[in-house]
Amino acid sequence: MSREQLVVQRARKSFQTGRTKPLEFRIHQLKSLLRFISDRRRDIAEAVKKDLGKSEHGTELFETLGLEGDIKLAVEKLAEWAAPRPVEKNLLTISDEVYVQPEPLGVVLIIGAWNYPWAVTLQPLVGAIAAGNAAIIKPSEVSSHSAKVMEELLPQYLDKDLYPVVTGGVPETQELLRQRFDHIFYTGNSTVGKLVMEAAARHLTPVTLELGGKSPCYIDKDCDITIACRRITWGKFVNCGQTCIAPDYILCEPSIQSRVVEEINKNVKEFYTDNPKTFEDYGRIINQRHFKRVMALMEGSTVAVGGDSDESQCYIAPTVLKDVTRESRVMKEEIFGPLLPIITVSGVDEAIQFINEREKPLVVYVFSHDNKLIKRVIAETSSGALLANDCLVHFTVSALPFGGVGNSGMGCYHGRHSFNQLSHLRSCLIKQLKMEGVNSMRYPPHTAKKLGWARFFLLKQVDVSRLRRMALLTMFAGLAAFVVQNPKHCQVIHPVLRFFRTKLSISIFSHSL
């Protein structure tokens, strides 16, 4: 029996004891994960520095800060997320208890990515723990220093049997994928994503695939180009361009191309100095294989900004490519590096057509003062997300589901969406052994009269909460009328009126949420 098989077997055996079901246990594990991040902040930063050349402050900002927020949100909201969720009834089930009960899926496999080795590996883990699952954590072997720290230190804080870390390369990942899981959560590229989905299909295992793609960025010629380019420069070159939601290429009219190049060049110098190679907040390409891949993408394109490189350090300067064509090599695959090509289009019509002719991206970016233009791009394109007048920041909003569509992925996570994604939302209906006369319409023989009653009882939806509000409102109005007609009873009735007014306000407020 392989090491991977033993680890999965042990996790499943531990899960089947029911230890993960009590909310107190889940909260304890989440708090332990939070303590791990706090205690081992320096170890995490040193590992990321060795892997990606990222500064300590950059690691906290882009790796652990959002992770801490996700954990704290899960601890605060877990009781609410895990509670039964009442649903609307029909007349046939009006007296029954009908609700959705979230329950754990079982054993989850989390395969992390190397570009943000902590955030994209441990954020799904937060959802898995909160939902009451066991989870096998497989960090990317490409970010080897982070993987080693995770393997050595995380088991000191979390339950070793329920949340083991498995390291290794392709053979170890393939062996893991041969095992049966209840859900697989993969972050990476679409090529490997297809292999993960193929392996999962053998066990009918559901998957969440957080992939990538070429996220376009359209700049309207009438927008504030200075601010637009400042935000694009930040969003593109953070983490040396190795961000799945980074703008992959710019679409703009020929009349503003030179201005866009000029503004981005100015911002690169402001953010990373005249020599980004020596600036601590500008990282490095993960390894030489990816360095060579990114450098090869520049072939046949005109460098407008940057272009410098040093293979010995895996350094590529922030680079802008102009006059790029649809057939250019840089447009054939996701860049995942600090190259920003500019493609000129005649306007928003051609930009939308260009986007729609390609695979659905993880994000569509649009910069414009015109709200109608923004809404048109939303209506006429499809992507995992759309962000107007900024870059990346939608990732920080826990209430927004983060994920792709089509070739950019399937499923979503963050906040409550992580909990739902890694839970089974179980339909529950509890009926009493009474009122058998009402049920007789469904028993044979089936007649036209019974069909008529069935149509009435089954097709008529009943909003119980609305009925409750109407009843409270009726009682409140009745008491108010009584007070008007009998003023001498005011002192006795006023507390009752206040009670019903409070109950009615709470009911209306709850419905609005």
Residue 345 sits in a domain whose CATH number is: 3.40.309.10
- CA dist 484 and 143 (Å) reads 75
Q: Are 164 and 19 in the same domain?
A: yes
What range does the domain containing 453 cover?
Answer: 447-502
The yes-or-no answer on residue 428 being catalytic is: no
Q: Check residue 90 and give its pLDDT.
A: 85
Residue 382 lies in a domain: yes
Q: Are 349 and 378 in the same domain?
A: yes
Give Rg (Cα) of the chain.
Answer: 28
Q: What is the DSSP letter of 143?
A: S
Q: Are 420 and 318 in the same domain?
A: no
Q: Check residue 512 and give its pLDDT.
A: 46
Residue 435 lies in a domain: no
Measuring CA to CA, which residue among 187, 214, 198 is closest to residue 418? Answer: 187
Q: Check residue 392 and give its pLDDT.
A: 97
Residue 404 lies in a domain: no
Among candidate residues 63, 210, 253, 334, the one labeled active-site is 210
3-state secondary structure 153-181: HHHHCCCCCCCCECCCCHHHHHHHHCCCC
Q: Check residue 474 and give its pLDDT.
A: 75
Q: Are 167 and 137 in the same domain?
A: yes
Q: Are 220 and 207 in the same domain?
A: no
CATH code of the domain in which 71 resides: 3.40.605.10
Q: Are 337 and 371 in the same domain?
A: yes
- CA dist 230 and 368 (Å) reads 14
Residue 141 lies in a domain: yes
Q: Check residue 496 and give its pLDDT.
A: 60
- Residue 100: Cβ-neighbour burial (10 angstroms; 0-12, 13-18, 19+): middle
Residue 434 lies in a domain: no
Q: Are 337 and 368 in the same domain?
A: yes
Q: pLDDT below 70 — which residues of the chain?
A: 450, 453-454, 456-458, 460, 462-472, 476, 479-480, 482-484, 487-513
The yes-or-no answer on residue 210 being catalytic is: yes
Question: pTM score, two decimals?
Answer: 0.89
Instruction: Report pLDDT digits (tens) over 263-320.
Output: 999 999 999 999 999 999 999 999 999 999 999 999 999 999 999 999 999 999 999 9
- Sign of the CA dihedral with 62 first, then 412, 150, and 163 last: positive
Q: Are 20 and 82 in the same domain?
A: yes
- CA dist 100 and 424 (Å) reads 10
Please, which residues have CB within 8 angstroms of residue 94's CB and are 6 or more apart in sequence? 462, 464
Instruction: Report pLDDT digits (tens) over 329-388.
Output: 999 999 999 999 999 999 999 999 999 999 999 999 999 999 999 999 999 999 999 999
Residue 510 lies in a domain: no
Among candidate residues 217, 229, 240, 244, the one labeled active-site is 244
Q: Are 227 and 104 in the same domain?
A: no
Return the half-sphere exposure (C-beta side, CA atoms, 13 A cut-off) of residue 367. Answer: 25
Q: Are 387 and 493 in the same domain?
A: no
Number of domain units in the chain: 3
